[in-house]
Structure 1
Amino acid sequence: MPRAVPAPLRRALTRTASRAVHRAWNRLQEAGAVTRERPGPHAFRGIGTGTRLAFPQGTVFGAPWIELGAHCVVGAEVTLTAGMMPGLDLGPDPVLTLGDGVVLGRGSHVIAHSRVTIGDDVFFGPYCYVTSTNHSYDDPHEPVGKQWPRAAPVEIGSGSWLGHGAVVLPGARLGRNVVVAAASVVRGDVPDHAVVAGAPARVVRRWDADGGWQPPLRTPPPVPVPEGVTAEQLLALAEGDALVPEPGTLEERPER
């Protein structure tokens, strides 16, 4: 029977093995990171000075049509794709562009089947998803995943911030310094200096040069109209005149 390893020695061996694993992983992360000087297997259209893609990278293809600005930080397991599949000729222009100082949080995806432009100093939280393509569902008899997708360019303005798990759909155009709340789903146009939240996202705050941060303008709820009121009476009310009911149309109210 082999002799049991004494507990103090077993703990020491475990600590030593743990340190060795972490040292090896740190060396692997350093060696596997992608930079301008060490592009690894990816022939990007351009990588700016100081930009770094952490190891391990997520799915990357269409690199010749992906342009990364200077001093970008791309977290681990981030997917960057240009085109619907690898090996396509996408023409002379870039399809996916990151400006300077962009930060993409761990596990985020940027899917550029058509043009996706991300401005300078845009920050993504973890696990954000930006896509220029979505499945169509026009044919009710065909599985949605087999129907030809629709594509529309996406723009995210400089200085914007996307919270954890935010989704930006095809055709979205975000202005400058836009804040997207966590788990929001953005489509359509978002003005400069706005905060959006929800699914679908709605503007919940906007910056006004005179009054600072303001809630969005809201349309007042419709005023209920008593049964029997005529168009002439509604017009008189809108012009500030008193409503005078026609005989037999409104119940008389007792004097108080």
Structure 2
Amino acid sequence: MSLKLVLATRARRLLHSAVNRGWEWVQRHGEITPSTLGRRRFAHFGEGACIGFPTGAIYGEPWISIGDHTLIGTHCTISAGFVPGLDLGPDLVVRIGGSCSLGRGTHIVGHQSIVIGDDVFTGPNVYITDQNHSYGDLEVPIGRQWPENNPVEIGDGCWIGTGAIILPGTRLGRNVAVAGGAVVRGEFPDNCVIGGVPAKILRHHDPVEGWLPPMRPRTPSVTKEEFTMLSVCGHEGLQVMQDRLREETAGILQERLREDAQGLNGNGLNGHTLASENGSPAA
């Protein structure tokens, strides 16, 4: 290998390392946190909250409230009003509760009222809006027709899967799971699983009978109190959670293998039967 090629290879490696370290520095210092000046633009920016960098479009901050310990991923858009600089009145337009986690690329586009409760988690690229265009005049392009607002409420503890769309007028109860890719409009009760286009209830929890249809029973390897403690213990807590989940998953797989083996034996699919089906004489 020539000296010129060796030097070029080393230069590329150094440049690669410098670019990555530089980008990490930019991301770290571009975040909006309670210790940065960017938090002053918001009606409320809670303790321990963070908006990752690079952001999407963020404007109308005086009408946006973000709760304590809420984490908002990179490339997220959070807006209030049509464009920056408008007076939107005395009330908040977008209210995001505490301890939420919004996946990267999520859009929250508010014009009247979007209320997101505490402990709401979303996957990437979720879209939530309280405004849509009407379609009353066939002679006017849809995008130029007068818009309609309808408030959105998302209850505490909801989980919204990747790519879901929450349309104006949606009201989700507490602990509602929304399947990825669902298009949601309407009201849904507490403790249910919804999905589809348009979204409908796929599973719900009955106070007497439990989950309908039933779920596979599962006992977590940690108590609720232990999980809460681990989730706030930083890197060490996350490592413990990772190890516990690995052990738990291995146990689940072993249990399923045992169940499958018992099912095969119960159906008479033992070695003799399988040999006969394959054309070999049974012993």
1:24-54 CA distance string (max 9 Å, x none) = 1011011110011104286000100000000
1:181-234 CA distance string (max 9 Å, x none) = 000000000110010010100000001122221039xxxxxxxxxxxxxxxxxx
TM-score, reference length from structure 2: 0.73
Let me know the Cα RMSD of the aligned residues: 1.5
Asked if structure 1 preserves the Cα contact closer than 8 Å seen for 2:39 and 2:45, the reply is no
1:115-168 CA distance string (max 9 Å, x none) = 000000000100000000011111011100100111100000000000000000
Max Rg structure: 1
1:218-255 CA distance string (max 9 Å, x none) = xxxxxxxxxxxxxxxxxxxxxxxxxxxxxxxxxxxxxx
Matches for 1:143-222 after TM superposition, within 5 Å: 143-215=141-213
Alpha-carbon distance in 1 for matches of 2:108, 2:101: 12
Equivalent position of 1:100 in the other structure: 98
Equivalent position of 1:230 in the other structure: none
Alpha-carbon distance in 2 for matches of 1:42, 1:137: 39
Matches for 1:5-24 after TM superposition, within 5 Å: 6-24=4-22
2:89 partner amino acid: G
Equivalent position of 1:123 in the other structure: 121
Secondary structure in 1 aligned to 2:205? strand
Report the alpha carbon displacement of residue 5 of structure 1 after superposing the two structures with TM: 5.3
Question: Unpaired runs of 5+ in structure 1?
Answer: 217-256
Alpha-carbon distance in 2 for matches of 1:41, 1:202: 38
Asked if structure 1 preserves the Cα contact closer than 8 Å seen for 2:31 and 2:52, the reply is yes
How many residues align structurally? 213
Equivalent position of 1:71 in the other structure: 69
Equivalent position of 2:50 in the other structure: 52
Query: Relative to structure 2, which stretch is displaced further, 207-216 or 62-71?
Result: 207-216
Q: Which has the higher helix share?
A: 2
2:79 partner amino acid: T
Alpha-carbon distance in 1 for matches of 2:46, 2:75: 20
Alpha-carbon distance in 2 for matches of 1:129, 1:5: 54
Alpha-carbon distance in 2 for matches of 1:42, 1:79: 18
Alpha-carbon distance in 2 for matches of 1:74, 1:113: 20
2:54 partner amino acid: P
1:83-108 CA distance string (max 9 Å, x none) = 12221111222110000011111111
Alpha-carbon distance in 1 for matches of 2:125, 2:139: 33
Alpha-carbon distance in 2 for matches of 1:109, 1:42: 21
1:106 partner amino acid: R
Alpha-carbon distance in 1 for matches of 2:116, 2:194: 18
Query: Relative to structure 2, which stretch is displaced further, 176-185 or 204-213?
Result: 204-213
2:29 partner amino acid: A
The 1:193/1:200 distance shift into structure 2, 3 A limit, reads same
Report the alpha carbon displacement of residue 6 of structure 1 after superposing the two structures with TM: 3.3
Alpha-carbon distance in 2 for matches of 1:19, 1:40: 29
Equivalent position of 2:86 in the other structure: 88
The 1:5/1:190 distance shift into structure 2, 3 A limit, reads farther
Secondary structure in 2 aligned to 1:15? helix
The 1:215/1:39 distance shift into structure 2, 3 A limit, reads farther
Asked if structure 1 preserves the Cα contact closer than 8 Å seen for 2:65 and 2:95, the reply is yes
Asked if structure 1 preserves the Cα contact closer than 8 Å seen for 2:33 and 2:39, the reply is no
The 1:39/1:215 distance shift into structure 2, 3 A limit, reads farther
TM-score, reference length from structure 1: 0.80
2:120 partner amino acid: V
Report the alpha carbon displacement of residue 77 of structure 1 after superposing the two structures with TM: 0.7
